[in-house]
Chains A and B, each alone.
Chain A
């Protein structure tokens, strides 16, 4: 169903309640042995994000980590990159900015 997962345009407290069950379902569906180790999600569409949305991403990353998988946000929109940098979540992004390396 969600072969190539894509982040929705709005990832905020207003949509968290809807997105959450979808992601859980997706996680269960793809929870098999030959699932790719690195889970790449297209994050280009995100144009609204808040703390609740980022928290949901962290939660997804945690769930994947529990299954020995990692979350990579691919092609993240500038807004999302900015938000991740603000809250110190650059590890989720595909291109790790220089800042993180230095730290």
Chain B
């Protein structure tokens, strides 16, 4: 009873970990399958696939998830057929395996609430099982439960061969819930085990023993007709951290040499040779006797290796390899094991640390400020040191949250494959810059908008093969997902070489829907942006993939909620390009603090190119506070923050221009004071100030003042607005901006 309870509580605790791991395996399965489609004969891929399926099945078994085990078993059988080369991967099998993988995913997801399947679920599963079995050519064999025991006898009879197996279990074997005893029992189901020896020397004495670490090293001979893969499969649960050697029955001395080279911790030459199967224990005993006999009369000690060569005809090469290995062990060159492992950390713990770090950054900035005010050199020095350390900790901590976007991208392989097939299109997906890293929370929240854009491109953008050929393009469409870093943000591009967006259709639709006043033609660049307006859909026919018209505005909203922006360009007939710009992280940035009058603002430091002294502008400022200056022979547009936001303060004696880079362009911002670099913890602006344009957040300075953080991209858009279009709203916006600014920038 008690045991049962503790089992149950263990399962309840461990199940979420299992589910998250199983999900990873299932995702990996999918990726492997898709890779395999490109390279159907890749043996390593097939092995990895099999291992994934086997791991899911095995760990599901531990948790008693019988449905997962039963279903995955059929998938495994089919994979095994592929591995054996009885079948080769074709699109049908690939599709079937992908669907089966989805099914496994569903079953795993359902593990947490073990309710009964609906009839439809059951039928869908039965159908898949049926197809799997037909595909494996397995239909005649009913209920093939993998039972090596059952077939062992037949196997031994049919051409059994003697394999030499040696295995050194990893230290974590027990902690991972594995038991060498059970594994050997399982192996014995494959055939007959003989000459098993356990290396006593590899187990430390009681004083030095960690009873929960595994130190077992075994070697045995296995008489079986099973193939190498089947023997290996028996070790698949410990495969990752054990050292396993399986030597072919008719291995040449060279193989045995290689084996000895590779074996980790066999301390004695004799054991090495026995375990490699080069000599038998009896032969060793005989050789040892000769050695000790030779030692007795103080004769020059005959070396065991030489004796072995003479008595049991072990090839000299084999002995040499063993001797070399023994030598290396004596030198004790046991380098520290490569601890390139991962630790799972709960995301909220990490967030708590990052929040605290934010407070620390603010407090540190406050302390630096006080130190500077005190004018004590040593205190300033000490504070500078602390600030440096805080910065390093900050960078390190934020790095912890960074994940490559490639995982999200590769999820689209499947989407592209299935969607294109459904639409009768031929599309190749290219992924560029998958190792670009960004904050995990950003990655998670960008996946859905990306999905929508990708589907949109597939559905509306890319044409069916015949149309493409008629248009003089290759039949296969190309969709590119790319990511790269650009001035402190990440730029994600979705490119297709499809039919592009027809501006006149967009415009007509916008007129019809009342998004733009009938007959008014907005500037060329703004027409395409209309598709992001709520209630817009250009699809002539609504398909179930996209085109319900609920998508694009939601996409834009989601991206803007991440302080990002989305832009679309299109050339009719040649394709479209959607650019999503996102901040790298949502928490902390390096900022450049500037002042205008009494207000303080922060630019993201990455966006700042240089700072120049303001010089006489070529003309007066226009109504938006815009003008141009000459910079190294080029014209640089500048904007005055004082005029743009109607900040009421006197003109300063001298002002500076901060040159900002946004997208591919540069522009200058006129400011009064340059206050230097500043670590900035971003605090959201709150609902009230959502209408504030050009800002992405606020930050509390060390002295308690509030500074507003510019969103460089939207600031540039704000400054770009043509006066004619925005005359009236600008006026309204102006007052609201200045009102909110005065509220924000005056600390209470």
Which A residues contact B (CB, under 8 angstroms)?
A: 13, 16-17, 19-20, 23-24, 27, 49-52, 54-56, 58-63, 66, 83, 86-89, 103
Expressed in whole angstroms, the Cα–Cα distance for A7 and B350 within the complex equals: 46
Contact B211 A20 (CB under 8 A): yes
A residues in contact with B126, CB < 8 Å: none
Q: By the criterion CB–CB under 8 Å, are B203 and A58 in contact?
A: yes
Of A23, A27, A49, A54, the most chain B CB neighbours within 10 A belong to: A54
A59 touching B205 in the complex, CB below 8 Å, given contacts A87-B198, A103-B195: yes
Note all chain A residues with C-beta closer than 8 A to B173.
Answer: 51
Are B209 and A83 in contact, CB atoms less than 8 angstroms apart?
A: no
Interface string of B220-264 (1 = CB under 8 A from A): 100000000000000000000000000000000000000000000
B181: chain A residues at CB < 8 Å are 49-51, 54, 83, 86-87
Q: In the complex, A59→B203 CA distance in Å?
A: 6
Which of B174, B179, B203, B220 is close to A88, meaning CB atoms less than 8 Å apart?
A: B220
Could you list 12 further interchain pairs (A-B, Cβ under 8 angstroms) beyond the known A62-B203, A87-B218? A13-B212, A51-B182, A51-B214, A55-B211, A59-B204, A63-B207, A86-B188, A86-B196, A87-B184, A88-B196, A88-B198, A88-B218
In the complex, the answer to whether B184 meets A55 with C-beta atoms within 8 Å is no
Determine if B394 is an interface residue (Cβ-Cβ < 8 Å). Answer: no
Q: Which residue, B173, B188, B193, B203, has most C-beta atoms of chain A within 10 A?
A: B203
What's the Cα separation between A63 and B184 when bound, in Å?
26
Interchain CA distance A88-B202 in the complex, whole Å: 14
A-B contact pairs, 9 of them (CB 8 A): A19-B211, A50-B181, A50-B182, A51-B173, A56-B211, A62-B203, A87-B184, A88-B218, A103-B282
Q: Is B694 an interface residue (CB 8 A)?
A: no
Verify if B447 is at the interface (C-beta below 8 Å from A). Answer: no
Q: Is B180 an interface residue (CB 8 A)?
A: yes
Q: Which bucket holds chain B's interface residue count?
A: 20 to 34
Question: What 9 A-B pairs have minimum CB-CB distances, sorted nearest first?
Answer: A88-B196, A16-B211, A51-B180, A63-B205, A20-B211, A58-B203, A63-B206, A51-B181, A59-B209
Residues of A within 8 A of B411 (CB): none
Query: What residues on A are CB-neighbors of B746 within 8 Å?
Result: none
B197 interface contact, C-beta 8 A: yes
On chain A, the residues within 8 Å of B195 by CB distance are 88, 103
User: How long is the Cα–Cα vector from A103 to B181 in the complex, in angstroms?
Assistant: 21
B211 partner residues in chain A, CB cutoff 8 A: 16-17, 19-20, 52, 55-56, 59
User: How distant is A92 from chain B, measured CB to nearest CB, in Å?
Assistant: 10
**Shortest beta-carbon distance, A101 to chain B, in Å?**
11
Contacts A20-B206, A56-B211; A89 near B198 (Cβ below 8 A)? yes
Contact call B200/A62, Cβ cutoff below 8 A? yes
List the B side residues contacting A19 at CB < 8 Å: 211
The CA of A52 and the CA of B183, in the complex, are separated in Å by 13
Residues of A within 8 A of B290 (CB): none
- What A residues does B212 contact at CB under 8 A? 13, 16-17, 52
Set B174, B196, B205, B282: member contacting A66, Cβ < 8 A: B205
* Selected contact of A87 from candidates B174, B180, B206, B281, CB within 8 Å: B180
B268 within 8 A of A: no
Say whether B179 contacts A24, CB under 8 Å: no
User: Which residues on the B side are within 8 Å of A60 (C-beta)?
Assistant: 206
When distances are taken between beta carbons in the complex, the residues of chain B under 8 Å from A87 are 180-181, 184, 196, 198, 216, 218
With a cutoff of 8 Å between Cβ atoms, the chain B residues found around residue A51 in the complex are 169, 173-174, 179-182, 214, 216
Cα-based distance from A19 to B212 in the complex (angstroms): 11
Q: Are B215 and A55 in contact (CB under 8 A)?
A: yes
Alpha-carbon gap, A73 to B206, bound state (A): 17
- Say yes or no: is B303 at the interface (Cβ < 8 Å to chain A): no
- Quote the shortest CB–CB distance from A67 to chain B (angstroms): 9
CB distance from A103 to the nearest CB of B (A): 6
**B185 at interface by CB-CB < 8 Å:** yes
CA gap between A63 and B204 in the complex, in Å: 8
User: Whole-angstrom distance from the CB of B487 to the nearest CB of chain A?
Assistant: 55
**Which residue in chain A gives the minimum CB-CB distance to B177?**
A13
The winner among A58, A60, A103 for most chain B CB atoms within 10 A is A58
Select from chain A the residue with minimum beta-carbon distance to B202.
A58
Smallest beta-carbon distance A54→chain B, Å: 7
Min distance, Cβ A21 to any Cβ of chain B, angstroms: 9
Q: Tell me which residues across on chain B come within 8 A of A103, comparing CB atoms.
A: 195, 281-282
Nearest chain-A residue to B210 (Cβ)? Answer: A20
Bound CA span A61–B199, Å: 12
Residues in chain A near residue B169, CB distance under 8 A: 51
B216 to chain A, nearest CB (A): 6
CA distance A27 to B173 in the complex (A): 27
